[in-house]
Amino acid sequence: MTSSIDIQQAKILVVDDSVDNAHLLVEALKISGFCNVSWTNDSRDVYAMHAKNHFDLILLDMHMPYLNGLQIMEQLRGIEQDRYLPVLAITGDSEFKIAALQAGARDFLMKPFDIIELDARVRNMLEVRLLYNAVQEQSRIQRELAMHDSLTGLPNRRLLMDRLHTMMQHAQRSRQHLAVLYLDLDGFKPVNDQMGHQAGDELLKMVAQRLLHTVRRDDTVSRLGGDEFVLLLADVADIATVERLAEKVLRYLSSPFIVQDRPVKITASIGIATYSHDIDSDCESLLADADMAMYQAKNRGKSRYFMLNKSAVLA
């Protein structure tokens, strides 16, 4: 529910080539309790002002020099990606009123206008706009949650596979290489069993932060679930680059973690699979190869990495 305070604090822009008319509108809005009102009498400024401030409502005079209201609304479509134009068209021409609504204006106000009508239309439009913004933000949050691990905030399997698919396509086009590192924590289960799940969750969040500090900006750190993490390394030049990062991960994770004021030591087994533009593979197969390599590392004594077909990759 949108509160009256939210409405009164909404960002409003008044656009009118007549300075007197603009001042009249601004003063009327302030008398009605709106406290965040800007104005301009130059139609050429509207696009830049809205791009910077993202106004909740634009009171737009339709008849102005340089750019008329319809031309301004066409410009604003480039900012409003969802095509929602928060425009209240102001005109004395009934034909222009119809054109404004057809162009995307949400409402209109005929000149000469009544102050009470102005207040009512502005409040109604702002309530709709703010509710719309809230719904859009909630949808964005839901999409974000659907793509991220709720504990660590890292990309989950769904987002991981989406990024891996994109990276493989890029590698094909640019004739580059990428690597997948599949991590399984060694010694995590005793922490869960002996110190409790809350301690285990704290440890997983700490591991996530350390992993984020090991990778480059264009790489991805994700959590599949449990104590399994996957790193996607983009545009790797050679095997040595991948091995250096794997060694860095092992080194970062080997330092004790402080969980509930107690030092906790864990290690990791890392499986590595690589992809080259001339290899026929898909996302699931590449991830499965990295998983298989991880078990090879674990079988060889843990706290190490293992790379499948080392002699054949990144040649």
Positions annotated as catalytic residues are: 227
C-alpha 253/C-alpha 211 separation (Å) is: 8
Amino acid in the structure at residue 262: R
DSSP code for 113: P
Confirm if 156 and 222 have CB atoms less than 8 A apart: yes
Residue with tokens 């009249």: 24
Confirm if 247 and 272 have CB atoms less than 8 A apart: no
C-alpha 74/C-alpha 47 separation (Å) is: 10
Half-sphere exposure of 185 (CA within 13 A, CB side): 27
305 pairs with which residues across the strands? 270
Using a 10 angstrom Cβ sphere, with 0-12 exposed, 13-18 middle and 19 or more buried, the burial of residue 183 is buried
Q: Sign of the C-alpha dihedral, residues 73, 75, 76, 80?
A: positive
Amino acid in the structure at residue 85: L
C-alpha 11/C-alpha 50 separation (Å) is: 10
Amino acid in the structure at residue 305: Y
Using a 10 angstrom Cβ sphere, with 0-12 exposed, 13-18 middle and 19 or more buried, the burial of residue 74 is middle
Name every residue whose Cβ is closer than 8 Å to that of residue 52 and which is 6 or more positions away in sequence. Answer: none
| Backbone dihedral angles phi then psi of residue 204, each to the nearest 5 degrees | -60, -40
